[in-house]
């Protein structure tokens, strides 16, 4: 039933709808990935302290939807970088053994790449936002396998958080945003900025 | 006060002096050098002594963790004493303090000042130690968790297991895990949690095994380099990259080897090889030693091809990818795969690269594979070549196995067995059958399609016919196989022996025949078969004297066998005729014939036409044997059972199968069920059942049913007669007492002569004719004169009287017309008579009260009725009387004794006086002796002794 509703919405909202669906799917898969990792490592289900690794400007209501998407796009981009870093570090630390967790890693990585490509089409041309990573693994004072594992958990927590944020934002996107992707004329954009002001 | 102080100083100086006098100086310059990863603490100090007391504390709580006396010699160069302590606890967990003193037996020096190494529980962060430790399975280990200042310690979990923690310092807690199991892929997590955070901090421990590799073997593939391989041993359980096993071969790193690849190569052959496998938990060394020529493992031949293919042979060629092989003395194994024709052949030679494959079969698809090895010091077969397919050419078929079977004196069939793949040498196109006889010139040749395996033969005259059969395929015609018609011998013309099967087969033996120059033929077929029968035969050399026909004997290995013609096996329960013929140049001669079952079974059908015939108390059972097809074994006899409700009782076992009847004797009158079963050596059949209800025969029935009762009855009559005769006086008195004559007072003698009695007019009985009266209705009726006369012929009757009929009617119906009452009740009629004024006779008061007791009721004449009974009784009484007396039943006026008839009374009465014709009985007293006596019945005469 949910699927039918979603499809209907996709039909009415086109690309933004498809992107929202992709974000929602990715969000679920990130949750599954985090669960798989916690189970395989016998880790407690509570979140690791320290907040999110990726930080962005606050998504205040004054921001337009397109700006919000741009900011989230930047956050997701950092998430992808962290994720690839995690995969590389894991492969470096541990032997490459096939497991459901590893397969899920690759699925999430690929789908996150698709989501980034999809949200990129919704961005407003000229506007560029940066997301920052508060902590890098290499910069930590004490290294060790446990630290790496905690950092992986934090990356996964970030993935869950930012894909969830993106999914929610895309879902609440009005139809007008879809009409104003990159092809939107500058006049329209200016008008939109004016309205915001 | 000053005195006390002085005393104390003196004492103190005294102690110091005494120590100094022992010569034990305090150790100096104690230094601590921790090795954190190794969890060791090295102590170094200076002293002149060699024996020291050591004490190590956890600084914060001053818990003693070591208190030992050690003997440590000074380093001759540096003069320092060194001693290393291995701490069970990571030294980072908390601060450790050490002090030392010299000892000489019981004398000790002063303790050195405490030296302390700080732990990590001083900075304000959370830590867990040790980190990423690799230890063998089964080890014990202590982990500590240092919580930061503002956190409250909660617990430490080893994997999923919560452990009991001990406090080392204000912020440090420790657990000790014993006998640790092997870790999972990424190690075992040890997690410290606080009241606030589930994962405050943690560490990972990798528990595994040292390398377990074994079985190093080195060999050469190209006669120059070496390839060494080994078997992977026990899983180390160490997945972290830095803990993976490293390999070196003769000291050189073997980078290609890892957890999955267990081989290593070397460009040059060395006679001795050493492989070292190392991981953080241990090292293992494997060695091998061999000459290069002893370890040649050849690569697979390449470019395998057949250069010349014939019907019976082919030439195979190949090449080698290593030039050095060309000089190697090698042995090659060639494996041929074909349907039922697989084989393996070995060839050898230096640098072998071609062979001629002999002994192939025509028109067969072969798949060839090839592998080679060093001939000298053979090590192992080299790699196998890719399969190569060869199809040989066709050749003429082999000669057929032909036999002729005569089913009558002038008809028969020539049979031949289908050719197997090995013998057909190519798909057959058909058969050619040619027939010739001595009396006719030339041959008649017939071509038959390949599906035929027989041909009918008709003998027109007495001469033998010779038939030649040849098979044809695209390569040509086979050699013809000839057979001459054997003389037909019916079973009836021979003494056919019984042949017993043994384990599903027939074992035959026969006397040698000198004329069997060409051997013998054993032929078998189902007995009684005619026409196209499943004939089977086996040709045997002349030296054979015996043969076993097996149920699994297969004539040929062909898939085209016609099931009607060739029997592949003996079927259990089927009778076979087995014949042995001797072969020589002319027609085959029958030597011996048997009939038998390879395996007997119980008959499939019961005996037929089971019947029985009763003769008196005997029963003759007879039956007929089942047909031969249903016998499924030689009938050895019959068993006869008497069936009851629950079981069968054997009453006879007929062991002669020719006897097909049985007489069951002495049966009583009852129902019987007989079961007849035929049996073979395998057992009895289901049985046929017949039932009979025994009955007497006609003569018996006549005798028993009629004559015996009659005889008994006569005997009874005679006995009764004799009895009554003997007791006739008693009977007479009892039943027929003498009637006394009337006693007349005065002279009532009448003159001699007839006395005419003229009844008074008042005595006349008027006969009232009632036209409605029916004879069939009950009632009194007139007695015809004739009857009366005939029945009373001894009675004197006045035939001249003018009124003869007047006295003939007693109490006849004259009344009110109620005939039923009148008829049914004689007293009723009497009543009617009484009522009539025309009846002069008055009975009232004359009859004794008991004489007419009980019988009469209702209206009408009742002269002697004394008692009134129910209305139904007279009817019953009447009926009984009526039945007894029949048509002769008449008036029974006053007498209750049934034997009396009115006439008898009448006559009895008239014996004395004709005037008493109306009744004499009413004059007789009730006493039985005085009852009137019947005068004219035979019984009366009998009782009276009259004849």
pLDDT tens column, B465-494: 889 999 999 999 999 999 888 777 777 667
Report the SS3 class of residue A4. helix
- Per-residue confidence (pLDDT) for residue B699, from 0 to 100: 64
- Per-residue confidence (pLDDT) for residue B138, from 0 to 100: 95
Q: Which two tokens stand for residue B210?
A: 């040292």
Q: Is B204 at the interface with chain A, CB within 8 A? A: yes
Residue among A95, A142, A146 minimizing CB distance to B189: A146
CATH number, position B140? 2.60.40.10
Q: Which two tokens stand for residue B164?
A: 């009991």
- Per-residue confidence (pLDDT) for residue A48, from 0 to 100: 82
Count helices and strands in chain B by DSSP H and E runs: 12, 54
- The reply to whether B797 and B857 lie within a common domain is yes
- Per-residue confidence (pLDDT) for residue B85, from 0 to 100: 95
- The reply to whether B765 and B888 lie within a common domain is yes
CA distance B124 to chain A (A): 14
Calpha distance B26→B99 (Å, rounded): 11
Strands B201-208 and B188-194: antiparallel
CA distance from start to end of chain B: 192
Angle value at C-alpha B63, between B57 and B67, nearest 5 degrees: 55
**Residue A44: its chain B contacts at CB < 8 A?**
191, 193, 198-199
**Residue A145: its chain B contacts at CB < 8 A?**
131-132, 186-187, 203-204, 240
pLDDT one-digit tens code per residue, A115-125: 999 988 888 77
Mean pLDDT lowest among B578-592, B705-719, B809-823: B809-823
Residue A96 CA, chain-centre distance (Å), reads 26
Binned at pLDDT 50, 70 and 90, residue B395 comes out as very high
Residues B896, B864 contacting (CB under 8 angstroms): no
**Mean pLDDT, residues B897-905:** 41
**Mean pLDDT, residues A65-81:** 91
Binned at pLDDT 50, 70 and 90, residue B192 comes out as very high
Q: Write out the H or E segment, with its range, that includes residue B500.
A: strand B497-500
User: Is residue B785 predicted with pLDDT exceeding 50?
Assistant: no
Which of B199, B200, B232, B236 best tests the A interface by mutation, with the highest count of A CBs <10 A?
B199
Residues B585, B476 contacting (CB under 8 angstroms): no
A121 or B286, higher pLDDT: B286
**Residue B198: its chain A contacts at CB < 8 A?**
44-46
Strand partners for B56: B66, B98
B903 or B12, higher pLDDT: B12
**Residue A92: its chain B contacts at CB < 8 A?**
241
Residue among A46, A97, A142 minimizing CB distance to B199: A46
- Per-residue confidence (pLDDT) for residue B443, from 0 to 100: 74
- Per-residue confidence (pLDDT) for residue B121, from 0 to 100: 87
Q: For A48, which residue in chain B has the nearest alpha carbon? A: B199
CA distance A98 to chain B (A): 11
CA distance A145 to chain B (A): 6
- Per-residue confidence (pLDDT) for residue B613, from 0 to 100: 87
Strands B201-208 and B133-136: parallel
Calpha distance B227→B249 (Å, rounded): 11
**Mean pLDDT, residues B287-314:** 94
Mean pLDDT lowest among A1-10, B189-198, B733-742: A1-10
- Domain that includes residue B405, residue range: 399-488
In sequence order, what are the residues at sequence separation of 6 or more whose Cβ sits closer than 8 angstroms to the Cβ of residue B267? B224, B225
Give the domain-ending residue among B246, B278, B294. B294
Calpha distance B99→B66 (Å, rounded): 10
Decide if B864 is inside a domain: yes
Q: Which two tokens stand for residue B642?
A: 């008497």
Binned at pLDDT 50, 70 and 90, residue B528 comes out as confident
Q: How far is CA B411 from CA A43, B464, B465, in A?
A: 97, 12, 11
B918 or B107, higher pLDDT: B107
Rounded to the nearest integer, the mean pLDDT of chain A is 78
ipTM: 0.81
Decide if B347 is inside a domain: yes
CA distance B293 to chain A (A): 39
Report the SS3 class of residue B252. strand
- Per-residue confidence (pLDDT) for residue B565, from 0 to 100: 32
Q: Write out the H or E segment, with its range, that includes residue B229.
A: strand B226-231
- Range B51-54, long-range pairs (CB < 8 A, 24+ positions): B51/B102, B51/B103, B51/B104, B52/B27, B52/B81, B52/B83, B52/B100, B52/B101, B52/B102, B52/B103, B53/B100, B53/B101, B53/B102, B53/B103, B53/B108, B54/B83, B54/B85, B54/B98, B54/B99, B54/B100
Q: How far is CA B241 from CA A92, A176, B132, B539, B773, in A?
A: 7, 53, 12, 78, 146
CA distance B260 to chain A (A): 11
**Residue A149: its chain B contacts at CB < 8 A?**
186, 189, 202, 204
B945 or B837, higher pLDDT: B945
Q: For B186, which residue in chain A has the nearest alpha carbon? A: A94
Calpha distance B575→A27 (Å, rounded): 84
- CA-based nearest residue to B231, from B211, B245, B216: B216
Rounded to the nearest integer, the mean pLDDT of chain B is 77
Q: For A44, which residue in chain B has the nearest alpha carbon? A: B198
Percent helix, percent strand, percent coil in chain B, to nearest 5: 15, 35, 50
* pTM of this structure: 0.55
Report the SS3 class of residue A85. helix
* Phi, psi for B786 (deg, rounded to 5): -60, -45
Binary contact (B197, A43; C-beta < 8 A)? no
Which of A94, A96, A142, A152 best tests the B interface by mutation, with the highest count of B CBs <10 A?
A94
- CA-based nearest residue to A23, from A73, A97, A88: A73
Mean pLDDT lowest among B18-22, B239-243, B590-594, B876-880: B876-880
User: Is residue B708 predicted with pLDDT exceeding 60?
Assistant: yes
Binary contact (A41, B186; C-beta < 8 A)? yes
- The reply to whether B828 and B938 lie within a common domain is yes
Residue among A42, A92, A93 minimizing CB distance to B159: A42
- The reply to whether B164 and B142 lie within a common domain is yes
* Phi, psi for B169 (deg, rounded to 5): -155, -170
**Mean pLDDT, residues B529-556:** 73
Q: What DSSP string runs through B120-166? A: TTSSSS-EEES-SEEEETT--EEEEEE--TT--EEEEEETTEEE--E
- Any idea what DSSP says for residue B223? S
Q: Is B859 at the interface with chain A, CB within 8 A? A: no
Calpha distance B227→B245 (Å, rounded): 19
- Per-residue confidence (pLDDT) for residue B200, from 0 to 100: 85
Binary contact (A144, B185; C-beta < 8 A)? no
- Per-residue confidence (pLDDT) for residue A183, from 0 to 100: 39
Residues B442, B436 contacting (CB under 8 angstroms): yes
Calpha distance B344→B355 (Å, rounded): 13
How many structural domains does chain B have? Answer: 8
**Residue B257: its chain A contacts at CB < 8 A?**
none
pLDDT one-digit tens code per residue, B827-839: 333 333 343 334 3
Q: Is B186 at the interface with chain A, CB within 8 A? A: yes
Give the residue numbers in A contacting B (CB under 8 Å), as ranges: 40-46, 48-49, 92-95, 97, 99, 142, 144-146, 149-150
Residues B561, B492 contacting (CB under 8 angstroms): no
CA distance A78 to chain B (A): 25
**Residue B128: its chain A contacts at CB < 8 A?**
146
**Mean pLDDT, residues B637-662:** 90
The residue ranges of DSSP E strands in B516-583, in sequence order, are 519-526, 536-540, 546-549, 575-583
- Per-residue confidence (pLDDT) for residue A54, from 0 to 100: 92
- The reply to whether B57 and B200 lie within a common domain is no
Report the SS3 class of residue B99. strand
Binned at pLDDT 50, 70 and 90, residue B855 comes out as very low
**Residue B185: its chain A contacts at CB < 8 A?**
94-95, 97, 99
Query: How many CB contacts within 8 angstroms connect chain A with chain B?
Result: 66
- The reply to whether B373 and B421 lie within a common domain is no
User: Is residue B713 predicted with pLDDT exceeding 50?
Assistant: yes
Decide if B715 is inside a domain: no
Percent residues over pLDDT 90 in chain B: 41
Calpha distance B865→B867 (Å, rounded): 6
Q: For B130, which residue in chain A has the nearest alpha carbon? A: A144
Binned at pLDDT 50, 70 and 90, residue B913 comes out as very low
In sequence order, what are the residues at sequence separation of 6 or more whose Cβ sits closer than 8 angstroms to the Cβ of residue B372? B298, B301, B330, B331, B332, B333, B352, B381, B382
**Residue B187: its chain A contacts at CB < 8 A?**
145
**Residue A97: its chain B contacts at CB < 8 A?**
185, 239
**What is the rounded radius of gyration, in angstroms, for the C-alpha atoms of chain A?**
18
Binned at pLDDT 50, 70 and 90, residue B938 comes out as low
User: Is residue B602 predicted with pLDDT exceeding 50?
Assistant: yes
**Mean pLDDT, residues B675-689:** 91
- The reply to whether B551 and B658 lie within a common domain is no
- Per-residue confidence (pLDDT) for residue A17, from 0 to 100: 87
Calpha distance A172→A167 (Å, rounded): 9
Percent residues over pLDDT 70 in chain B: 72
Give the domain-ending residue among B59, B86, B117. B117
Binary contact (B244, A95; C-beta < 8 A)? yes
Residues B674, B642 contacting (CB under 8 angstroms): yes
- The reply to whether B571 and B526 lie within a common domain is yes
Estimate the crossing angle of helix A145-171 against helix A100-120, to 10 degrees.
40
**Residue B240: its chain A contacts at CB < 8 A?**
93-95, 145
pLDDT one-digit tens code per residue, A35-55: 999 998 888 888 887 788 999
**Residue with tokens 């019907």, as numbered in its chain:** B311
- The reply to whether B409 and B321 lie within a common domain is no
* Phi, psi for B915 (deg, rounded to 5): -80, -20
- The reply to whether B876 and B793 lie within a common domain is yes
Decide if B944 is inside a domain: yes
pLDDT one-digit tens code per residue, B57-94: 999 999 999 999 999 999 999 889 999 999 999 999 99
Decide if B1 is inside a domain: no
Q: For A89, which residue in chain B has the nearest alpha carbon? A: B241
- The reply to whether B654 and B674 lie within a common domain is yes
Binary contact (A94, B240; C-beta < 8 A)? yes
Strand partners for B253: B248
Decide if B700 is inside a domain: no
- Per-residue confidence (pLDDT) for residue A49, from 0 to 100: 76
- The reply to whether B138 and B284 lie within a common domain is no
Residue among B128, B199, B240 minimizing CB distance to A48: B199
**Mean pLDDT, residues B7-20:** 46
Decide if B699 is inside a domain: no
Mean pLDDT lowest among B133-147, B367-381, B822-836: B822-836
Decide if B10 is inside a domain: no
HSE-CB at B741 with a 13 A cutoff on CA atoms is 7
Residue among B184, B185, B199 minimizing CB distance to A44: B199
Q: Is B197 at the interface with chain A, CB within 8 A? A: yes
- Per-residue confidence (pLDDT) for residue B743, from 0 to 100: 67
Give the domain-ending residue among B599, B621, B648. B599
Burial B72-104 (b: 16+ CB within 10 A, else e): bebeeeeeebebebebebbbbbbbbbbbbbbbe
Mean pLDDT lowest among A59-63, A172-176, B510-514, B702-706: A172-176
- Per-residue confidence (pLDDT) for residue B541, from 0 to 100: 86
Residues B228, B266 contacting (CB under 8 angstroms): yes
């Amino acid at each position: 039933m949910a699927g039918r509703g979603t499809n209907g919405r996709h039909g009415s909202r086109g690309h933004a709808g498809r992107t929202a669906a992709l974000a929602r799917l990715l969000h679920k898969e990130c949750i599954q990935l985090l669960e798989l990792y916690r189970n395989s490592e016998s880790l407690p289900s509570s979140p690791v302290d320290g907040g999110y690794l990726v930080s962005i400007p606050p998504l205040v209501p004054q921001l337009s939807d397109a700006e919000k998407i741009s900011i989230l796009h930047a956050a997701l981009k950092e998430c992808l970088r962290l994720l690839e870093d995690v995969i590389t570090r894991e492969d470096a630390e541990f032997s490459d053994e096939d497991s459901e967790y590893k397969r899920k890693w690759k699925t999430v990585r690929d789908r996150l790449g698709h989501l980034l490509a999809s949200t990129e089409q919704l961005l407003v041309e000229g506007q560029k936002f940066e997301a920052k990573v508060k902590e890098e693994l290499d910069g930590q004072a004490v290294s060790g396998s446990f630290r790496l594992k905690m950092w992986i958990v934090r990356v996964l927590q970030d993935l869950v958080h930012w894909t969830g944020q993106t999914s929610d934002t895309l879902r609440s996107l009005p139809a007008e945003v879809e009409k104003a992707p990159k092809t939107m004329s500058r006049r329209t954009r200016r008008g939109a900025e004016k309205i915001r002001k | 006060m000053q005195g006390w102080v002085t005393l104390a100083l003196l004492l103190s100086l005294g102690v110091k002096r005494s120590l100094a006098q022992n010569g034990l100086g305090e150790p100096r310059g104690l230094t601590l050098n921790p090795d954190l990863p190794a969890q060791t603490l090295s102590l170094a100090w200076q002293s002149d002594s060699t024996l020291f007391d050591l004490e190590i504390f956890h600084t914060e709580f001053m818990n003693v963790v070591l208190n030992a006396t050690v003997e440590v010699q000074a380093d001759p160069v540096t003069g320092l004493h060194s001693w290393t302590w291995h701490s069970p606890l990571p030294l980072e967990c908390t601060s450790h303090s050490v002090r030392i003193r010299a000892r000489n037996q019981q004398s000790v020096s002063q303790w050195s000042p405490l030296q302390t190494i700080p732990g990590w529980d001083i900075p304000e962060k959370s830590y867990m130690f040790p980190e990423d430790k690799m230890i063998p399975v089964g080890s014990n280990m202590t982990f500590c968790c240092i919580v930061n200042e503002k956190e409250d310690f909660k617990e430490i979990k080893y994997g999923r297991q919560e452990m009991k923690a001990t406090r080392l310092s204000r912020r440090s807690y420790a657990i000790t895990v014993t006998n640790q199991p092997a870790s999972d892929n990424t190690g075992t997590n040890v997690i410290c949690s606080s009241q606030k955070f589930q994962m405050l901090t943690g560490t990972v421990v990798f528990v595994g095994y040292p390398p377990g590799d074994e079985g190093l073997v080195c060999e050469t593939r190209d006669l120059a380099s070496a390839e060494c391989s080994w078997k992977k041993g026990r899983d180390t359980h160490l997945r972290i990259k830095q803990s993976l096993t490293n390999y070196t071969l003769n000291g050189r790193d073997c980078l290609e080897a890892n957890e999955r690849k267990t081989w290593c190569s070397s460009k040059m052959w060395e006679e001795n090889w050493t492989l070292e496998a190392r991981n953080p938990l241990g090292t293992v060394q494997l060695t091998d030693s061999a000459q290069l020529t002893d370890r040649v493992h050849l690569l697979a031949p390449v470019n395998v091809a057949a250069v010349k293919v014939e019907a019976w042979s082919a030439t195979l060629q190949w090449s080698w990818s290593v030039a050095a092989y060309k000089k190697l003395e090698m042995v090659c194994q060639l494996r041929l795969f074909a349907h039922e024709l697989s084989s393996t052949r070995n060839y050898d030679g230096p640098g072998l690269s071609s062979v001629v494959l002999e002994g192939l079969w025509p028109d067969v698809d072969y798949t060839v594979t090839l592998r080679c090895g060093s001939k000298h010091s053979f090590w192992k077969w080299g790699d196998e070549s890719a399969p190569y397919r060869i199809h040989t050419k066709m050749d003429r078929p082999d000669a057929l196995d032909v036999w002729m079977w005569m089913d009558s004196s002038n008809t028969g069939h020539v049979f031949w067995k289908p050719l197997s793949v090995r013998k057909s040498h190519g798909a057959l196109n058909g058969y050619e059958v040619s027939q010739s006889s001595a009396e006719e010139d030339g041959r008649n040749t017939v071509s038959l399609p390949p599906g035929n395996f027989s041909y009918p033969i008709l003998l027109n005259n007495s001469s033998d016919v010779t038939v030649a059969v040849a098979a044809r395929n695209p390569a040509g015609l086979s050699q013809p196989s000839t057979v001459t018609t054997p003389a037909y011998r019916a079973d009836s013309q021979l003494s056919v022996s019984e042949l017993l099967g043994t384990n599903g087969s027939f074992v035959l033996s026969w006397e040698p025949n000198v004329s069997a120059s060409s051997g013998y033929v054993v032929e078998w077929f189902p007995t009684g078969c005619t026409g196209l029968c499943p004939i089977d035969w086996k040709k045997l050399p002349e030296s054979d004297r015996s043969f076993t026909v097996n149920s699994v004997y297969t004539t040929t290995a062909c898939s085209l066998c016609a099931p009607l013609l060739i029997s592949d096996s003996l079927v259990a329960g089927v009778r076979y005729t087995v014949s042995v013929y001797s072969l020589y140049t002319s027609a085959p001669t029958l030597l011996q014939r048997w009939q038998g079952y390879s395996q007997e079974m119980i008959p499939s059908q019961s005996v037929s036409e089971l019947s029985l015939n009763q003769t008196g108390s005997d029963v003759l059972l007879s039956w007929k044997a089942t047909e031969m097809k249903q016998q499924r074994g030689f009938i050895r006899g019959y068993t006869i059972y008497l069936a009851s409700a629950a079981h069968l009782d054997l009453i006879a076992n007929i062991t002669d199968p020719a006897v097909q009847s049985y007489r069951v004797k002495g049966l009583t009158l009852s129902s019987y069920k007989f079961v007849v079963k035929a049996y073979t050596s395998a057992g009895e059949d289901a049985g046929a059942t017949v039932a009979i209800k025994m009955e007497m025969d006609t003569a018996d029935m006549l005798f028993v049913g009629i004559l015996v009762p009659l005889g008994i009855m006569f005997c009874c009559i005679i006995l009764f007669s004799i009895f009554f005769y003997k007791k006739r006086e008693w009977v007479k008195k009892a039943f027929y007492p003498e009637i006394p004559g009337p006693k007349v007072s005065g002279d009532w003698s009448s003159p001699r002569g007839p006395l005419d009695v003229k009844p008074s007019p008042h005595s006349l009985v008027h006969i009232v004719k009632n036209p409605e009266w029916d004879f069939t209705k009950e009632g009194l009726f007139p007695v015809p004169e004739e009857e009366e006369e005939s029945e009373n012929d001894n009675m004197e009757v006045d035939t001249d009287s003018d009124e003869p009929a007047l006295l003939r009617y007693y109490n006849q119906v004259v009344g009110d017309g109620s005939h039923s009452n009148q008829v049914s009740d004689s007293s009723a009629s009497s009543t009617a008579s009484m009522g009539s004024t025309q009846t002069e006779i008055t009975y009232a008061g004359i009859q004794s009260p008991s004489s007419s007791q009980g019988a009469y009721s209702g209206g009408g004449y009742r002269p002697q009725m004394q008692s009134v009974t129910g209305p139904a009784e007279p009817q019953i009484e009447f009926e009984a009387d009526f039945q007894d007396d029949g048509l002769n039943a008449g008036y029974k006026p006053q007498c209750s004794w049934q034997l009396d008839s009115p006439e008898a009374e009448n006559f009895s009465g008239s014996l004395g006086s004709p005037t008493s014709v109306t009744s004499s009985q009413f004059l007789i007293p009730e006493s039985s002796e005085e009852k009137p006596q019947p005068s004219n019945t035979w019984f009366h005469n009998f009782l009276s002794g009259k004849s």
